[in-house]
């Protein structure tokens, strides 16, 4: 069980906006390290979308 994982930071968007954000994941059932790494990859993908779409 992944009890808690937080990822946050600042993004300067292509539209010159300054965003502060935090992604929090709680109580995720994982079967092993690969699934934990998938959570990290998903957080990175969401961060990239925030940058790309703003």
Q: pLDDT, tens digit, for every residue of 1-54?
A: 888 888 888 988 777 888 898 999 999 899 999 999 999 999 989 888 887 877
Whole-number pLDDT of residue 50: 81
Q: In 3-state terms, what secondary structure has residue 49?
A: helix
Whole-number pLDDT of residue 2: 86
Whole-number pLDDT of residue 27: 92
Whole-number pLDDT of residue 1: 86
- The answer to whether 23 touches 46, Cβ cutoff 8 Å, is yes
Whole-number pLDDT of residue 5: 87
Give me the long-range contacts of 37-44 (CB less than 8 A, separation at least 24): 39/2, 39/5, 40/5, 40/7, 43/5, 43/7, 44/7
């Amino acid at each position: 069980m992944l009890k808690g994982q937080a990822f946050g930071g600042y993004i300067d968007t292509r539209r010159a906006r300054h965003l502060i954000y935090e992604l929090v994941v709680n109580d995720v059932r994982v079967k092993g390290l690969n699934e934990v790494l998938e959570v990290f990859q998903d957080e990175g993908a969401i961060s990239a979308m925030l940058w790309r779409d703003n």
